[in-house]
Amino acid sequence: MQTLLNITIKEEGTLLVSSDCLKVEVEQNLPSILGWRHNTLSARDYKSEHPTLLQNLIEWRREKAKAQNISAFMILNNRTLCALADKAPASDEELLGLVGFGPRKLADYGSELLDLVARSIEAEEGL
């Protein structure tokens, strides 16, 4: 049997994918590649393009979950939060393009999230 592709986690945050003719190292955003394994998410666990936005999203989700007396992942899972922070959507269509975000989430949280994204990005840019 011939090995076609080797995947190795070299150290926290670095994934090595190699074969006879290919070698690629991914040095950040490893949690989004492998999927989250923890119940908690903090800005230090995920390297986002928009760390302030990510932190604001985490806090927003925590408050929503507490108010509804449900687990935070039932509001939005970690993968969706990270996608929101990376993509910083500005429209309903962009929200619907995110993994884990469908019509129900759009109806429940869409306008709130778009407002939060806009305010967070403005704060990061110092506007």
40 and 27 share a domain?
A: no
68 and 24 share a domain?
A: no
pLDDT of residue 4: 63
50 and 21 share a domain?
A: no
67 and 117 share a domain?
A: yes
50 and 28 share a domain?
A: no
55 and 115 share a domain?
A: yes
54 and 25 share a domain?
A: no
pLDDT of residue 47: 74
Q: Count CA within 13 A, CB hemisphere, residue 76.
A: 30
27 and 42 share a domain?
A: no
Per-residue pLDDT of 73-112, as tens digits, reads 899 988 898 899 999 999 999 999 998 899 999 999 999 9
More confident residue, 27 or 94: 94
42 and 77 share a domain?
A: yes
53 and 26 share a domain?
A: no
> Does 36 have pLDDT greater than 90?
no
Enclosing domain of residue 17: 1-34
> Does 61 have pLDDT greater than 90?
yes
22 and 44 share a domain?
A: no
Q: How many domains does the chain have?
A: 2
26 and 54 share a domain?
A: no
Residues 112 and 119: their CA atoms lie apart, in Å, by: 11
**Plot region of 40 (φ>0 → left; ψ -120 to 50 → alpha; else → beta):** beta
